[in-house]
Amino acid sequence: MPSPNDTSGIITLMENYVSDFVSFLTGECSAPANTSSAYRRDLLHFVAHLQHSGVISVNRIKTQNVMAYVAALKERELASATVARRLVAIKMFCRFLVNEGYVSTDPTASLSSPALWQRIPDVLSVAEVDKVLAVEQAGSIGIRNHAILELLYATGARASEVVDLKLSNVSLENAHVRCFGKGSKERMVPLTSKACEALAVYIERARPVLTRTMNKPNLFLSYHGRPMSREDIWRIVNDAARLAGIHKHIYPHLLRHSFATHLLEGGADLRVVQQLLGHESISTTQVYTHVDRNRLSAIHKKFHPRA
């Protein structure tokens, strides 16, 4: 990705950031194809508006630019749902730019969001996770896939963090992994015994087969010995769910949501979960407390004498 300060090839440069964002939606968040396509169209329209207004790089986008764009949409008498969707796309895009370290501030942070912006994440039950992790696949690729699935659920790591992991980031002796999150922020996350076991088997038996003649530092490698992509991780998770007989929309981030929710259900402190997830703000982690509240309500109903 070129520097956001680069003013050469203005539209192409801005489109590169849009493409990176859409790739994130598809590969890591498993957004449906029609949703990704709609966001791409909306953002390219926004980029064209920015260029017309003289904004030549993503770190020069200001709050007033976004407000002017929304005002222009309303002047065209577009449906309110269309305007809301485009604003959501812009807000998600700007948040993505900040989280990935492409820009330092979010120009949409002070703008009110449509009601559909914040939603409670879906999660898998513990039993469903167990089914996914119990899927058996043959050969070196199967061993690798199992290690990836165990790692995703053991650490709550993002798909992007998993593909960027280096062999040197894993310490099986100390049972932890060093993840580099958004903005290259480093955090140490403990590994479960099952994850350590799966990784040990992968590193000892499967990875040497996949490295072939290439000397790659990445922990996880493709069949051809190359670094993996977010889309590869999505396929691995999706295939495992299908083989496990789970008939629901599943994607890598769902294991991250499940990791956080199951920790809170088990009594983990919210601040601890925040650190494990690598969230900058506790407010981001609080979205998972809805399940914890449900658990507390159930306990209250079961044990309170007048419930």
The catalytic residue positions are: 158, 182, 253, 256, 279, 288
CB 55 within 8 A of CB 83: no
| Dihedral (Cα; 202, 206, 208, 214), 10-degree rounding | -100
Using CA atoms, how far apart are residues 71 and 83, in angstroms rounded to an integer? 9
Using CA atoms, how far apart are residues 37 and 10, in angstroms rounded to an integer? 22
**Amino acid at position 78, single letter:** L
Closest listed residue to residue 172, CA positions, set 149, 195, 205, 155: 195
The CA distances from residue 247 to 12, 21, 57, 159, in Å, are 40, 27, 43, 21
Using CA atoms, how far apart are residues 97 and 103, in angstroms rounded to an integer? 6
